[in-house]
Protein backbone atom coordinates (compact mmCIF):
# COMPACT_ATOMS: atom_id res chain seq x y z
CA UNK A 1 0.00 0.00 0.00
CA UNK A 2 1.39 3.41 -0.99
CA UNK A 3 0.79 6.69 0.81
CA UNK A 4 0.14 7.36 4.50
CA UNK A 5 -1.64 4.75 6.57
CA UNK A 6 -4.71 5.71 8.54
CA UNK A 7 -4.60 5.52 12.33
CA UNK A 8 -7.82 5.89 14.34
CA UNK A 9 -7.21 7.86 17.55
CA UNK A 10 -10.16 7.30 19.89
CA UNK A 11 -10.67 9.74 22.79
CA UNK A 12 -13.55 10.22 25.23
CA UNK A 13 -13.56 14.03 24.92
CA UNK A 14 -11.09 16.91 24.64
CA UNK A 15 -11.29 18.86 27.89
CA UNK A 16 -8.29 20.58 29.45
CA UNK A 17 -6.30 17.68 30.85
CA UNK A 18 -2.98 15.94 30.55
CA UNK A 19 -4.03 13.01 28.36
CA UNK A 20 -6.22 15.16 26.13
CA UNK A 21 -3.34 17.57 25.64
CA UNK A 22 -1.02 14.73 24.67
CA UNK A 23 -3.54 13.39 22.13
CA UNK A 24 -3.88 16.83 20.54
CA UNK A 25 -0.09 17.23 20.44
CA UNK A 26 0.26 13.77 18.90
CA UNK A 27 -2.24 14.58 16.15
CA UNK A 28 -0.63 17.95 15.46
CA UNK A 29 2.91 16.60 15.14
CA UNK A 30 2.24 13.40 13.16
CA UNK A 31 4.33 12.87 10.04
CA UNK A 32 1.49 13.14 7.52
CA UNK A 33 3.61 11.52 4.83
CA UNK A 34 3.49 8.30 6.88
CA UNK A 35 0.35 8.50 9.03
CA UNK A 36 -3.09 10.00 8.50
CA UNK A 37 -4.95 10.60 11.76
CA UNK A 38 -8.67 9.84 11.93
CA UNK A 39 -10.05 11.05 15.26
CA UNK A 40 -13.16 9.66 16.96
CA UNK A 41 -14.66 10.63 20.30
CA UNK A 42 -17.56 9.79 22.60
CA UNK A 43 -18.45 13.41 23.26
CA UNK A 44 -17.60 16.36 21.06
CA UNK A 45 -16.57 18.83 23.74
CA UNK A 46 -13.48 20.42 25.17
CA UNK A 47 -10.99 23.19 24.69
CA UNK A 48 -8.62 21.04 22.60
CA UNK A 49 -11.17 20.77 19.77
CA UNK A 50 -9.86 24.09 18.44
CA UNK A 51 -6.34 22.65 18.26
CA UNK A 52 -7.62 19.63 16.32
CA UNK A 53 -9.52 21.89 13.93
CA UNK A 54 -6.34 23.89 13.32
CA UNK A 55 -4.62 20.59 12.47
CA UNK A 56 -7.32 19.84 9.88
CA UNK A 57 -9.05 17.11 11.91
CA UNK A 58 -12.79 16.87 12.54
CA UNK A 59 -13.64 14.23 15.19
CA UNK A 60 -16.35 11.65 14.46
CA UNK A 61 -18.75 11.17 17.37
CA UNK A 62 -19.85 7.78 18.74
CA UNK A 63 -22.27 8.86 21.44
CA UNK A 64 -22.89 6.36 24.24
CA UNK A 65 -25.56 8.51 25.84
CA UNK A 66 -23.57 8.92 29.03
CA UNK A 67 -23.20 5.27 30.11
CA UNK A 68 -21.37 2.23 28.77
CA UNK A 69 -23.62 -0.54 30.13
CA UNK A 70 -26.45 0.00 27.65
CA UNK A 71 -27.54 -1.74 24.40
CA UNK A 72 -26.52 1.39 22.49
CA UNK A 73 -22.88 0.61 23.30
CA UNK A 74 -22.94 -2.52 21.13
CA UNK A 75 -24.41 -0.47 18.29
CA UNK A 76 -21.66 2.14 18.61
CA UNK A 77 -18.94 -0.53 18.67
CA UNK A 78 -20.39 -2.08 15.49
CA UNK A 79 -20.59 1.36 13.89
CA UNK A 80 -16.97 2.03 14.82
CA UNK A 81 -15.89 -1.31 13.34
CA UNK A 82 -17.74 -0.45 10.10
CA UNK A 83 -15.89 2.86 9.95
CA UNK A 84 -12.54 1.10 10.39
CA UNK A 85 -13.30 -1.27 7.52
CA UNK A 86 -14.84 1.36 5.23
CA UNK A 87 -11.98 3.84 5.70
CA UNK A 88 -9.32 1.11 5.52
CA UNK A 89 -7.94 2.18 8.87
CA UNK A 90 -4.82 0.20 9.71
CA UNK A 91 -4.70 0.63 13.49
CA UNK A 92 -7.01 1.61 16.36
CA UNK A 93 -5.27 3.56 19.12
CA UNK A 94 -7.54 4.21 22.13
CA UNK A 95 -6.63 6.87 24.67
CA UNK A 96 -8.57 6.43 27.95
CA UNK A 97 -10.68 4.03 30.02
CA UNK A 98 -13.92 4.02 28.00
CA UNK A 99 -12.26 4.13 24.59
CA UNK A 100 -9.70 1.50 25.60
CA UNK A 101 -12.58 -0.95 26.13
CA UNK A 102 -14.68 0.03 23.10
CA UNK A 103 -11.74 0.54 20.76
CA UNK A 104 -10.29 -2.90 21.46
CA UNK A 105 -13.67 -4.52 20.73
CA UNK A 106 -14.11 -2.58 17.48
CA UNK A 107 -10.58 -3.38 16.34
CA UNK A 108 -11.21 -7.08 16.91
CA UNK A 109 -14.43 -6.93 14.89
CA UNK A 110 -12.64 -5.09 12.09
CA UNK A 111 -9.59 -7.37 12.16
CA UNK A 112 -6.95 -4.68 12.77
CA UNK A 113 -4.36 -4.22 15.55
CA UNK A 114 -5.21 -2.18 18.63
CA UNK A 115 -3.36 -0.14 21.24
CA UNK A 116 -4.77 0.85 24.61
CA UNK A 117 -3.30 3.77 26.54
CA UNK A 118 -2.68 3.67 30.30
CA UNK A 119 -1.22 6.90 31.70
CA UNK A 120 -2.21 6.82 35.37
CA UNK A 121 -2.38 4.38 38.26
CA UNK A 122 -6.17 4.10 38.07
CA UNK A 123 -7.17 5.86 41.28
CA UNK A 124 -10.33 7.11 39.53
CA UNK A 125 -11.24 3.79 37.89
CA UNK A 126 -13.98 2.16 39.97
CA UNK A 127 -16.78 -0.38 39.66
CA UNK A 128 -17.13 -2.42 36.48
CA UNK A 129 -14.65 -0.17 34.69
CA UNK A 130 -11.67 -1.65 36.52
CA UNK A 131 -12.08 -5.30 35.37
CA UNK A 132 -13.19 -4.06 31.93
CA UNK A 133 -9.97 -2.08 31.59
CA UNK A 134 -7.86 -5.05 32.69
CA UNK A 135 -9.52 -7.29 30.08
CA UNK A 136 -9.09 -4.70 27.33
CA UNK A 137 -5.42 -4.33 28.24
CA UNK A 138 -4.87 -8.08 28.00
CA UNK A 139 -6.68 -8.27 24.65
CA UNK A 140 -4.92 -5.37 22.93
CA UNK A 141 -1.86 -5.90 20.75
CA UNK A 142 0.02 -3.28 22.73
CA UNK A 143 -0.47 -1.32 25.94
CA UNK A 144 1.09 2.13 25.79
CA UNK A 145 2.23 3.61 29.11
CA UNK A 146 4.19 6.76 29.87
CA UNK A 147 5.85 5.68 33.14
CA UNK A 148 7.69 2.64 34.44
CA UNK A 149 5.39 2.40 37.46
CA UNK A 150 2.38 2.04 35.13
CA UNK A 151 4.25 -0.59 33.12
CA UNK A 152 4.70 -2.59 36.32
CA UNK A 153 1.01 -2.18 37.15
CA UNK A 154 -0.30 -3.54 33.84
CA UNK A 155 2.16 -6.44 33.96
CA UNK A 156 0.81 -7.34 37.41
CA UNK A 157 -2.68 -7.25 35.85
CA UNK A 158 -1.68 -10.00 33.44
CA UNK A 159 -0.38 -8.21 30.33
CA UNK A 160 2.67 -9.86 28.77
CA UNK A 161 5.73 -7.69 29.39
CA UNK A 162 6.72 -7.70 25.71
CA UNK A 163 3.38 -6.09 24.80
CA UNK A 164 3.84 -3.09 27.11
CA UNK A 165 5.53 -0.10 25.46
CA UNK A 166 6.78 3.01 27.24
CA UNK A 167 6.23 6.21 25.26
CA UNK A 168 7.22 9.30 27.19
CA UNK A 169 5.04 12.40 27.16
CA UNK A 170 6.23 15.01 24.70
CA UNK A 171 6.80 18.69 25.44
CA UNK A 172 6.63 21.32 22.70
CA UNK A 173 9.46 23.46 24.02
CA UNK A 174 9.19 26.13 21.34
CA UNK A 175 5.48 26.63 22.06
CA UNK A 176 6.00 26.70 25.84
CA UNK A 177 8.87 29.18 25.58
CA UNK A 178 6.77 31.46 23.39
CA UNK A 179 3.78 31.25 25.75
CA UNK A 180 6.03 31.97 28.74
CA UNK A 181 7.00 35.34 27.29
CA UNK A 182 3.40 36.62 27.40
CA UNK A 183 2.06 38.46 30.44
CA UNK A 184 -0.34 36.36 32.53
CA UNK A 185 -3.82 37.80 32.95
CA UNK A 186 -4.82 38.23 35.64
CA UNK A 187 -1.32 38.15 37.13
CA UNK A 188 -0.09 36.76 40.44
CA UNK A 189 2.88 38.13 42.37
CA UNK A 190 6.28 37.23 40.94
CA UNK A 191 8.08 34.61 42.99
CA UNK A 192 4.97 32.68 44.01
CA UNK A 193 4.91 28.94 44.65
CA UNK A 194 2.83 27.25 41.95
CA UNK A 195 0.89 23.98 42.18
CA UNK A 196 -0.77 22.63 39.02
CA UNK A 197 -3.44 19.93 39.26
CA UNK A 198 -7.14 19.26 39.01
CA UNK A 199 -9.32 19.54 42.10
CA UNK A 200 -11.53 16.53 41.47
CA UNK A 201 -9.66 13.96 43.58
CA UNK A 202 -8.05 14.08 47.06
CA UNK A 203 -5.15 12.15 45.52
CA UNK A 204 -3.64 15.44 44.29
CA UNK A 205 -2.74 16.33 47.88
CA UNK A 206 -3.60 20.05 47.83
CA UNK A 207 -4.68 19.82 51.50
CA UNK A 208 -1.13 18.78 52.42
CA UNK A 209 0.27 21.77 50.57
CA UNK A 210 -2.10 24.16 52.35
CA UNK A 211 -1.04 22.78 55.74
CA UNK A 212 2.60 23.04 54.65
CA UNK A 213 2.07 26.64 53.54
CA UNK A 214 0.94 27.60 57.05
CA UNK A 215 4.42 26.59 58.26
CA UNK A 216 6.14 28.25 55.30
CA UNK A 217 4.33 31.54 55.92
CA UNK A 218 5.32 31.51 59.59
CA UNK A 219 8.99 31.66 58.52
CA UNK A 220 8.49 33.67 55.33
CA UNK A 221 5.40 35.88 55.75
CA UNK A 222 5.59 37.18 52.16
CA UNK A 223 5.31 33.70 50.61
CA UNK A 224 2.33 33.07 48.34
CA UNK A 225 0.97 29.95 46.64
CA UNK A 226 -0.99 29.83 43.38
CA UNK A 227 -3.19 26.81 42.62
CA UNK A 228 -3.77 26.26 38.91
CA UNK A 229 -6.67 23.91 38.20
CA UNK A 230 -10.30 23.47 39.13
CA UNK A 231 -12.84 20.88 40.19
CA UNK A 232 -15.55 19.98 42.66
CA UNK A 233 -13.16 20.14 45.63
CA UNK A 234 -12.16 23.76 45.09
CA UNK A 235 -14.68 25.22 47.61
CA UNK A 236 -13.39 22.77 50.23
CA UNK A 237 -9.79 23.84 49.59
CA UNK A 238 -10.70 27.51 49.75
CA UNK A 239 -12.45 26.95 53.11
CA UNK A 240 -9.41 25.08 54.41
CA UNK A 241 -7.15 27.99 53.46
CA UNK A 242 -9.43 30.25 55.51
CA UNK A 243 -9.46 27.87 58.48
CA UNK A 244 -5.66 27.77 58.42
CA UNK A 245 -5.52 31.57 58.42
CA UNK A 246 -3.63 31.81 55.12
CA UNK A 247 -6.43 32.65 52.67
CA UNK A 248 -4.92 36.00 51.69
CA UNK A 249 -1.69 34.23 50.70
CA UNK A 250 -3.46 31.62 48.54
CA UNK A 251 -4.53 32.30 44.95
CA UNK A 252 -7.03 29.86 43.41
CA UNK A 253 -6.73 30.56 39.70
CA UNK A 254 -8.90 27.85 38.14
CA UNK A 255 -8.05 26.44 34.74
CA UNK A 256 -5.64 28.72 32.93
CA UNK A 257 -4.46 28.76 29.35
CA UNK A 258 -1.53 30.99 30.32
CA UNK A 259 0.07 28.40 32.59
CA UNK A 260 3.56 28.83 31.04
CA UNK A 261 3.44 32.59 31.67
CA UNK A 262 2.53 31.94 35.31
CA UNK A 263 5.26 29.34 35.74
CA UNK A 264 7.88 31.58 34.16
CA UNK A 265 7.33 34.13 36.96
CA UNK A 266 7.22 31.66 39.85
CA UNK A 267 9.96 30.80 42.33
CA UNK A 268 9.30 27.06 42.38
CA UNK A 269 6.65 24.44 41.67
CA UNK A 270 5.16 21.87 44.03
CA UNK A 271 3.47 18.52 43.43
CA UNK A 272 1.92 17.10 46.61
CA UNK A 273 0.17 14.11 44.99
CA UNK A 274 -0.38 10.81 46.79
CA UNK A 275 -0.38 8.97 43.44
CA UNK A 276 0.82 10.14 40.04
CA UNK A 277 1.81 8.88 36.62
CA UNK A 278 3.83 11.28 34.50
CA UNK A 279 2.61 14.75 35.40
CA UNK A 280 2.37 17.26 32.56
CA UNK A 281 2.34 20.00 35.19
CA UNK A 282 5.73 18.87 36.49
CA UNK A 283 7.09 18.56 32.94
CA UNK A 284 6.01 22.10 32.05
CA UNK A 285 7.54 23.49 35.22
CA UNK A 286 10.81 21.70 34.49
CA UNK A 287 10.75 22.93 30.89
CA UNK A 288 10.52 26.49 32.21
CA UNK A 289 13.47 25.97 34.55
CA UNK A 290 11.50 25.81 37.78
CA UNK A 291 12.93 23.76 40.66
CA UNK A 292 10.50 21.19 42.07
CA UNK A 293 9.44 20.03 45.49
CA UNK A 294 7.48 16.84 44.85
CA UNK A 295 6.22 13.74 46.60
CA UNK A 296 8.02 10.50 45.90
CA UNK A 297 5.12 8.63 44.30
CA UNK A 298 4.38 6.83 41.04
CA UNK A 299 6.19 8.25 38.04
CA UNK A 300 7.31 11.48 39.72
CA UNK A 301 10.83 10.19 40.58
CA UNK A 302 11.25 9.51 36.84
CA UNK A 303 10.97 13.28 36.38
CA UNK A 304 12.22 14.84 39.60
CA UNK A 305 15.65 13.48 40.53
CA UNK A 306 16.27 14.24 44.19
CA UNK A 307 19.12 16.70 44.60
CA UNK A 308 19.45 17.18 40.83
CA UNK A 309 16.45 19.19 39.67
CA UNK A 310 14.39 19.24 42.85
CA UNK A 311 13.63 17.71 46.20
CA UNK A 312 11.56 14.58 46.81
CA UNK A 313 9.56 14.20 50.03
CA UNK A 314 7.21 11.50 51.36
CA UNK A 315 3.52 11.77 50.42
CA UNK A 316 1.09 12.87 53.10
CA UNK A 317 3.82 14.65 55.09
CA UNK A 318 3.13 18.41 55.18
CA UNK A 319 6.08 19.09 57.51
CA UNK A 320 8.53 17.56 55.02
CA UNK A 321 6.84 19.44 52.19
CA UNK A 322 7.20 22.72 54.10
CA UNK A 323 10.86 22.03 54.85
CA UNK A 324 11.62 21.39 51.19
CA UNK A 325 9.84 24.59 50.11
CA UNK A 326 11.67 26.65 52.75
CA UNK A 327 15.04 25.17 51.78
CA UNK A 328 14.56 26.20 48.16
CA UNK A 329 13.13 29.64 48.96
CA UNK A 330 16.24 30.30 51.05
CA UNK A 331 18.73 29.45 48.29
CA UNK A 332 18.37 31.27 44.95
CA UNK A 333 21.54 29.63 43.62
CA UNK A 334 20.18 26.15 44.28
CA UNK A 335 16.90 27.09 42.62
CA UNK A 336 18.79 28.16 39.48
CA UNK A 337 20.89 24.99 39.47
CA UNK A 338 17.86 22.74 39.86
CA UNK A 339 15.93 24.71 37.25
CA UNK A 340 18.63 24.41 34.60
CA UNK A 341 18.98 20.68 35.33
CA UNK A 342 15.23 20.20 34.91
CA UNK A 343 15.26 21.94 31.53
CA UNK A 344 18.09 19.66 30.34
CA UNK A 345 16.15 16.56 31.42
CA UNK A 346 13.11 17.67 29.40
CA UNK A 347 15.23 18.49 26.35
CA UNK A 348 17.01 15.14 26.52
CA UNK A 349 14.14 12.80 27.40
CA UNK A 350 10.77 14.47 26.73
CA UNK A 351 11.18 16.53 23.57
CA UNK A 352 8.91 16.20 20.55
CA UNK A 353 11.59 14.39 18.54
CA UNK A 354 11.82 11.62 21.14
CA UNK A 355 8.05 11.30 21.32
CA UNK A 356 7.71 11.07 17.54
CA UNK A 357 10.40 8.41 17.24
CA UNK A 358 8.61 6.30 19.86
CA UNK A 359 5.18 6.59 18.23
CA UNK A 360 6.50 5.98 14.75
CA UNK A 361 8.40 2.86 15.82
CA UNK A 362 5.33 1.48 17.61
CA UNK A 363 3.00 2.11 14.67
CA UNK A 364 5.53 0.77 12.19
CA UNK A 365 5.82 -2.46 14.15
CA UNK A 366 2.08 -3.05 14.33
CA UNK A 367 0.94 -1.73 10.94
CA UNK A 368 3.76 -2.54 8.57
CA UNK A 369 5.12 -5.68 10.20
CA UNK A 370 1.56 -6.75 11.14
CA UNK A 371 1.86 -8.62 14.42
CA UNK A 372 0.13 -12.03 14.08
CA UNK A 373 -3.30 -12.30 15.69
CA UNK A 374 -2.03 -15.21 17.82
CA UNK A 375 -0.41 -12.61 20.10
CA UNK A 376 -3.78 -11.82 21.68
CA UNK A 377 -3.75 -13.03 25.26
CA UNK A 378 -6.55 -14.85 26.99
CA UNK A 379 -8.86 -12.77 29.14
Q: Identify which of 332, 340, 227, 353 has the alpha carbon closest to the alpha carbon of residue 288.
A: 340
Q: Is residue 144 located within the same domain as residue 113?
A: yes
Q: Is residue 38 located within the same domain as residue 160?
A: yes
Check if the beta carbon of residue 347 is closer than 8 Å to that of residue 172.
no
59: DSSP letter: P
Q: Is residue 161 located within the same domain as residue 14?
A: yes
Per-residue tens of pLDDT for the chain, all 379 residues: 578 999 999 999 998 778 888 999 999 999 999 999 999 999 999 888 999 999 999 999 998 876 777 788 999 999 999 999 999 999 999 999 999 999 999 999 999 999 999 998 887 787 888 999 999 999 999 999 999 999 999 999 999 999 999 999 999 999 999 999 998 877 778 899 999 999 998 999 999 999 999 999 999 999 999 999 999 999 999 999 999 999 999 999 998 889 999 999 999 999 999 999 899 999 999 999 999 999 999 999 999 999 999 999 999 999 999 999 999 999 999 999 999 999 999 999 999 999 999 999 999 999 976 544 433 333 3
Residue 378: predicted pLDDT: 36
Residue 1: predicted pLDDT: 53
Q: Is residue 23 located within the same domain as residue 130?
A: yes
Q: Is residue 112 located within the same domain as residue 239?
A: no
Residue 370: predicted pLDDT: 59
Stated pTM of the model: 0.89
Check if the beta carbon of residue 117 is closer than 8 Å to that of residue 96.
yes
Q: Is residue 161 located within the same domain as residue 257?
A: no
Q: Which helix (H) or strand (E) holds 10?
A: strand 5-11
Q: Give Cβ neighbours of residue 248 (< 8 Å, ≥ 6 apart).
A: none
Number of domains within the chain: 2
Residue 17: predicted pLDDT: 76
Q: Domain holding 78: CATH number?
A: 3.40.50.2000
Residue 349: predicted pLDDT: 95
Residue 65: predicted pLDDT: 77
Q: Exposure string (b/e) for 174-199, b if CB count within 10 Å is 16 or more?
A: eebeebbeeebeeebeeebbbbbbbb
Q: Is residue 137 located within the same domain as residue 285?
A: no
Which domain does 367 fall in, by range? 5-170+351-375
Q: Which residues pair with 313 in a beta bridge?
A: 295
Amino acid sequence: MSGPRKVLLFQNRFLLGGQERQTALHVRTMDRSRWEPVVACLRREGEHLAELEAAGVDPIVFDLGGRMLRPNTALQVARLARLVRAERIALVHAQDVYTDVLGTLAARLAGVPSIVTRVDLGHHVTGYRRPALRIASRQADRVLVNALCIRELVIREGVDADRVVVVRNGVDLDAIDAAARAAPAPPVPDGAIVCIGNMHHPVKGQEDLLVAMREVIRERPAARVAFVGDGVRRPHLERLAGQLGIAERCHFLGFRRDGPALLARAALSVSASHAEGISNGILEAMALRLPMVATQVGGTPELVRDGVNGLLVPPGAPAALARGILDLLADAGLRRTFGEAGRRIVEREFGLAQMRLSYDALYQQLVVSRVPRVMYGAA
